[in-house]
Each structure stands twice: as structure tokens, then as C-alpha cells.
Amino acid sequence: MVTLQQNFSSMEETVRTLLQNQDPLEGPTVDPLDLMKAYKDKLLEEMWKQQDSLEGPTATETPASPEAGDGSEDSSTLLERLRALEAENSALSVENDNQRKQYEHCLDEVANQVVQALLTQKDLKEECVKLRTRVFDLEQQNRILSVLLQQR
């Protein structure tokens, strides 16, 4: 049972480390939910194996055996920790989804602003071309008028 608790603590620490070192903009390379499910399945499998191995010898013992009580307390403690970790994982998953939605919203806003800036730039370029053409036409008219005035 002690080994099982050590394994569980090790897995718990590994998951926390992975979640802390994860780049929030990059997104998870491995879904934390899948990782937690795999750890949970492995832990439950080990717990059932150990419980089966404990039930064999304890079937002949009296139910008041202190060893059987300790195993039950350890199992309930582990199950309680497992439930707490599942709740924490669920909360982290919800938080991750909320952050992802917030990042997507911000990205959409930035993309819209870039599109607006490009459209404004295009409109300004077109207006500049029209103004240059107008200036060229007016200069040409000025030259013609100047020549006409000099001829009189």
C-alpha cells in the first residue's frame, strides 16, 4: 500500500509539473484530461490488484484485524485523493477551455483590426492615386493656359 501511495504521489507531481510547464499559447501537446485518465486507470488497476492480494489472506483472518483496517483506510485515503485530483483536473480543464476561448477572441479582434488597417491603407492609396492624377491634370491645364496667355 505504501508503494501504491508513493506511485500515486509521483504521478500526481508529474501531472502538476507538466501542467505548470505547459505554454498556454502553444496549447497542450498531450491533453491533460487523457493523461489524468491514464494515471487514474493505472492507479485503479494497481489498487485492485493490491486489494485482491490483500483479500486472499484476510479472508481467513477475523474482520477485526488491524491490518485490514489500515488497508481500508489507505484505500479510502487514496480514493479521496483521486477524487480531489479529478476535481482539480476538471477545474483546470474548464480554466484551459476558458483561456483558449479568450485567446481565440483576442486573436479574432487583432485579425479584424489588421483587416481594417489593410482596407484603410488600400483606400488611402487609391485616394493618393486620384489626387496625383488630379494634380497632373491641373498642372497640364496650367501650362496650356500659361502658353495661351503668353501668345496674346
What string of DSSP letters covers 97-140? HHHHHHHHHHHHHHHHHHHHHHHHHHHHHHHHHHHHHHHHHHHH
Range of 11-15, 65-69, 89-93, 129-133 with top mean pLDDT: 129-133
Closest CA to 96 of 45, 20, 40, 151: 20
Report d(CA 103, CA 110) in Å as an integer.
Answer: 10
Contacts of 35 (CB under 8 A, 6+ apart): 15, 18
Q: What is the pLDDT of residue 13?
A: 74
Closest CA to 47 of 17, 71, 66, 21: 71
Q: How many CB atoms lie within 10 A of CB 79?
A: 13
Closest CA to 84 of 76, 96, 72, 95: 76
Q: What is the pLDDT of residue 59?
A: 42
Q: What is the pLDDT of residue 146?
A: 96
Quote the Cα angle for 140-143-145, to 5°.
110
Q: Please say if the pLDDT value at position 128 is more than 60.
A: yes
Which carries the bigger pLDDT value, residue 33 or residue 62?
33
Q: Please say if the pLDDT value at position 90 is more than 60.
A: yes
CB distance 2 to 75 below 8 Å: no
Q: Tell me the average pLDDT across 31-52.
A: 73
- pTM equals 0.41
**Domains of the chain: which residue ranges?**
2-112
Range of 4-13, 40-49, 123-132 with top mean pLDDT: 123-132
Three-state secondary-structure class, residue 65: coil
Q: Tell me the average pLDDT across 67-96.
A: 83
Quote the Cα angle for 34-46-5, to 5°.
90
Report d(CA 21, CA 16) in Å as an integer.
Answer: 9
Q: Please say if the pLDDT value at position 9 is more than 60.
A: yes
Average pLDDT of the residues of the chain:
79
Band the pLDDT of 55: cuts 50, 70, 90. low
